[in-house]
Structure 1
Amino acid sequence: MFESLSQRLSDTVNRLRGRGRLTEENIRETLREVRIALLEADVALPVVKALVERVKVRAVGQEVMKSLSPGQALVKVVSDELTAVMGAANSELNLATQPPAVVLMAGLQGAGKTTTVGKLARFLKERKKKRVMVVSCDVYRPAAIEQLRTLASQVDVAFFPSEAGQNPVDIAKAAIAAARREVIDVLLVDTAGRLHVDEAMMEEIKALHGAINPIETLFVVDSMTGQDAANVAKAFSDALPLTGVVLTKTDGDARGGAALSVRYITGRPIKFLGAGEKTDALEPFHPDRVAQRILGMGDVLSLVEEVERKVDHEKAQKLAEKVMKGKRFDLNDMRDQLQQMSNMGGLAGLMDKLPGVSSLPDNVKSKVNDGELNKMVAIIGSMTKKERRHPDLLNGSRKARVARGSGTQPADVNRLLKQFMQMEKMMSKLSKGGSKGLMRQMRGAMKGMGGMGGMMPPR
C-alpha cells in the first residue's frame, strides 16, 4: 500500500533535505509535485486541495523558512499534515458498555465483511482477551452463514446459528440474548452486502441498527476502489451513525487514495486495515505511522510490535541459549528462522516497514519476494535429518537429490548453503564475543555494503 505515492513523495522531499535555504519558488515547485503525487494516488480532490493548502501556509511561514534545516522542516510539515488528514491518532474500538458490546458491520457487496468479522473476532480474542461471539444476519447470500461458521471455528470463537429466510432483526435479538446467557464480552453482527442506492436494503439495515443499538457501527470498504471508497462511506454515514471504517484489501492497493480520503470526507476514523486473506491479517490504523511510511521513513514501531507478537519466543530463547553455549547453528535452526519470517508477513511485509525502502530501485525491490523464502524452506525440507544437522555431508550427488526433491536446481542448493555459512559465521562470532562481537560483525557487513547510506534517510 502507498507504494507509488511513497516513491513519488520520497523523491520530492529528498531533493529538499540538503538545501541550506528554501525559497517560495522551490516550495511552490515541491507542492506542485505533492499535488500530482496525491492525485495519481487517487486521493479525492477536496482532500488534495485542503492538504496542499495547509502545507503551503505552514511552509512559507516562520516554521520552515527560518529553520536551520528547512528541507527537513518541510518534510515534518508534510508528515504532520498527512497525519492530520487521516486522524491524529489510532481510534480504538469503544467496548465500554454492559456486556455484550454489540458491533454491527455494514458495507457493500464483496467488500470483505464476513472475512473481516473473522479477523476482528481473532483480534479481540487474542489481543484484547475478550470472549467473542459472531452471528450472520446475511439471509440473502446462501454461503454467508456457512462461511462465518467456518471462520468462527478457525479462530475459536462462539458462533450463533441462523438460517436463510429468517428476519435479520429477529436473528440479532436472539444472538444478543444468547450472548448475555453465555457471558460474552463482544457480539459481532455480520450483515448482507448492500448498495447505498438500494433503498429497501438501506431501510433494512437502519431497522436492524435501531433494534439492537450497537455501541460500534463499522463500515467495511474495499480500499482498491480509491477515492470512491470515501464517497460510498459518506453515503452510508448519512444513513447510519457510523463510528468507524475498516479498509480491506490494502495489500492489493499500491495507491492508498482511500486511506487518505475516508477520514476527511466522512469525518469517521479508520480503525483497522485488512491486508490478506489470513485471519491474523488485520491491524489497527495508526495515522502517524502511515504518514511516516508514505514519506519513506518506515514504520519501525509496527514492525517491533509484529515481531513481539508473532515470534515464537520459546524457539528464540532456545536458539539464543544454544548459540551462547557455543553449540553449532544448523540448517534446522535456519529453517525455523525462515518460517518465523514467513509468519510475520514474509520479506515483502517486513520490507514495507523498513526506513528508506521506498527509495530503492524497482529492480532491487522486485528481487525481494516470498517465493525465494519458500524455496529455501523447501530445499531444507528435502534434506535428511542427518544432512540438516551436518551440512558438510552434502556432496554433489546429495545436492542433486535435494534439488530434485524440492523442485529446484543444484545452483539453488549451493546458494542456500552459502547463505547458511554466512549465518553460521555470524552466530559463531556471537558465541565468542557476545553481543559486542555480533555488533562488530554487523558493522563490518554494513561497510562492505557501502554503509547502506543510500537506504537510510538522514536523521
Structure 2
Amino acid sequence: MAFESLTKRLQDAMGKLRRKGKVSEADVKEMMREIRLALLEADVNYQVVKDFTKRVSARAVGVEVLESLSPAQQIVKIVDEELTATLGSEAVLLNKNPKIPTVVMMVGLQGAGKTTFAGKLANYLKKNENARPLMIAGDVYRPAAIDQLKVIGEQLNVPVFDMGTDVSPVKIVEEGLALAHQQKNDYVIIDTAGRLHIDETLMDELQQIKTLAQPNEILLVVDAMTGQDAVNVAQSFNEQLDITGVVLTKLDGDTRGGAALSIRAVTGKPIKFSGTGEKLTDLEIFYPDRMSSRILGMGDLLTLIEKAQQDYDEKKAADLAQKMQENSFDFNDFIEQLDQVMGMGPLEDLMKMIPGMNQMPGIENIKVDPKDVERKKAIVFSMTPEERANPDILNPSRRRRIAAGSGNSVVEVNRMIKQFNESKKMMQQMTKGNFDMPGMEQMFGTGVKGKLSKMAMKSMMKKTQKKKKKKKK
C-alpha cells in the first residue's frame, strides 16, 4: 500500500517525542530533521518539504505548545493539520454543469490509467448519483484503447461512443457530444490519447478538444508511482490546459507517495479522486484529512465505515448477528462472511484504517493469501448440506471424505474446522462487546495478534454513532 515506508518513518520520528514527558525546542528540531529526510526520501518536492517543515516548526516551538500538559500530542496534531493543508484541506467534488450533460475530459500520459479511471468514474456516477453517463473513445492511437473502453462499458452497462481509429479525435468528440444531447445523458466522459512524453502534437489535439467540448472538468490522471516526475507532468498539463483537478492512480502500489504530497502544493489544483486497486469499484473521493491520518498511521475510520456501508449487506449483517446470539453460526454463514469481508478489499489494508492498528506488533507483515481463502471454500463446498449446517457431526470418516473431495489433506481440513470454531468464538465475543482479536488469526490464517486498544474502539463506536445520527436526520 502507498506511503508505508513514509508512514513508518514519520511514526518513528514522532514516537520519540511521545515518549518524553517534557519537550524542548531541541527535541522539536530533531523531529523536524527526521521528518524532512522522510519526506525527501518519499520523493516529495523539495520546496514543498521546505515550506511544510517551516510551518510546522513555527507552530511547534510556541510557548503554548511546549509548556502544555501534553506537548507531544499537540505537535502531532500540528503535523496532522499542516499535512492536511498541504494536501488541500478539504475534499473537492466534481464541477457540475447546471444543464446536462456535465462534460469530463480525461488527460494524462500514456499508461497513467485514464481509460480504466473513465470506467471507474462512470461506475461511481451511476451508483452514487443514479446517473446515465456516456463514455467517448477519443484515443485513436493506442492499440486496443477503444476495445478496452468498450469492454469496460459492457461490464458496467454504460454506452461507449466510438468511430473507429480512422477518424480524428476532435470529430469523434463532436459526434459523441451531439449523441449525448440527443440521449439526454447526465455526464459525458471523454477518454483522450496520451503519449509517453509531453509533445506539441498531443497538446494541440487536447486544446482543440477542449475548445470544442468546453468541459466542466479537465482531470489530469497521474500515476502515483512515477514520483517526482508526476509533479513536472502536472505542471506542464496545467500550464497548457488549465486543468481543474488531479486523479491519482495506483495508490495501492509500492509507491513512496511524493506525488500526492507535492501536486496539490505545486499546481494549486485539487486532487479529486484516487484509484486504490484494479477493480472498477476501487475509486475513492480524495479527502485530505483522511489521507493525512493514513500517512501518519492514525487510521481512516470514516473511509472504513463507508466501505462497510457500501459493500456489506446490512440485512445479512443483521441476520449474522442474530445467528451469533443464538449460537447457530454454521459453515454457510462462514463462507458468506468471508466473501463479504474479502469483497471490501485486502484485509491488511482495511485493518490499517482502524485507529491504533498501526502500532500493533507485526501489522506490516500481515498478508491474506486469496488462495488460502479459496482452499477454505473448497473444503466447505465438499461438505454435504447437512454437514455445513451442523458442524458438530464432522467425525473422522467424514473429514477424510471431505479432504479427498476438496483435494486437501485431512490435516488441512482439521485446521480449517479449528479455525471455524475459533472464528465462531470471536464473533460471539464481539456481539457481547468483547473486541479481543485472537480469532482473526484463526479465521484468515494471517498471523494477526493482539487487541484493539480501548481508545481505538471508543473512537470507532463514537464515529459510527455520529454517522447513524446524520443518516436519521
2:171 is matched with which residue? 170
Are the structure 2 counterparts of residues 108 and 450 from structure 1 closer, same or farther at C-alpha, using a change threshold of 3 Å?
Answer: closer
Aligned residue for 1:253, secondary structure, equals: coil
Letter aligned with residue 421 of structure 1: N
2:234 is matched with which residue? 233
2:158 is matched with which residue? 157
Check whether the contact 2:290–2:300 (CA below 8 A) recurs between aligned residues. Answer: yes
Aligned residue for 2:207, secondary structure, equals: helix
- CA drift of 1:327 comes to 5.9
Letter aligned with residue 140 of structure 1: Y
- How many residues get paired? 448
Q: After alignment, is 61-70 or 159-168 more displaced?
A: 61-70
1:277 is matched with which residue? 278
Check whether the contact 2:426–2:438 (CA below 8 A) recurs between aligned residues. Answer: no
Letter aligned with residue 57 of structure 2: K
1: CA distance between counterparts of 2:257 and 2:409? 39
Matched, 1:102 2:103: yes
For structure 2, the 5+ residue unaligned runs are: 440-448, 460-473
Check whether the contact 1:90–1:284 (CA below 8 A) recurs between aligned residues. Answer: yes
Q: Deviations over 1:284-315 (max 9, x none)?
A: 11110111111111000000010001002232
TM-score (norm 2): 0.89
For structure 1, the 5+ residue unaligned runs are: none
Q: Deviations over 1:336-360 (max 9, x none)?
A: 1110011100312312312233334
2: CA distance between counterparts of 1:370 and 1:386? 29
**Where do residues 431-450 of structure 1 align in structure 2 (5 Å cutoff)?**
438-439=432-433, 441-442=434-435
2: CA distance between counterparts of 1:278 and 1:429? 34
Are the structure 2 counterparts of residues 451 and 192 from structure 1 closer, same or farther at C-alpha, using a change threshold of 3 Å?
Answer: closer
2: CA distance between counterparts of 1:211 and 1:165? 19
1: CA distance between counterparts of 2:298 and 2:406? 38
Aligned residue for 1:264, secondary structure, equals: helix
Q: Deviations over 1:181-221 (max 9, x none)?
A: 11111000000112453111111111111111100000001
Letter aligned with residue 83 of structure 1: T
1:200 is matched with which residue? 201
Aligned residue for 1:303, secondary structure, equals: helix
- CA drift of 1:107 comes to 0.5
Letter aligned with residue 180 of structure 1: H
- CA drift of 1:59 comes to 0.8
TM-score (norm 1): 0.91
Query: Identity percentage over the alignment?
Result: 47
- CA drift of 1:417 comes to 1.6
1:305 is matched with which residue? 306
Letter aligned with residue 80 of structure 1: E
1: CA distance between counterparts of 2:15 and 2:129? 40
2: CA distance between counterparts of 1:15 and 1:406? 51
1:423 is matched with which residue? 423
Letter aligned with residue 442 of structure 1: F
Aligned residue for 1:442, secondary structure, equals: coil
- CA drift of 1:413 comes to 2.5
2:378 is matched with which residue? 378
Matched, 1:246 2:239: no
1: CA distance between counterparts of 2:425 and 2:186? 51
**Where do residues 303-382 of structure 1 align in structure 2 (5 Å cutoff)?**
303-324=304-325, 326=326, 328-362=328-362, 364-371=363-370, 372-382=372-382
1:148 is matched with which residue? 149
Check whether the contact 1:7–1:359 (CA below 8 A) recurs between aligned residues. Answer: no
2:445 is matched with which residue? none
Q: Deviations over 1:43-68 (max 9, x none)?
A: 11111111111111111113421322
Are the structure 2 counterparts of residues 428 and 305 from structure 1 closer, same or farther at C-alpha, using a change threshold of 3 Å?
Answer: closer
Aligned residue for 2:129, secondary structure, equals: coil
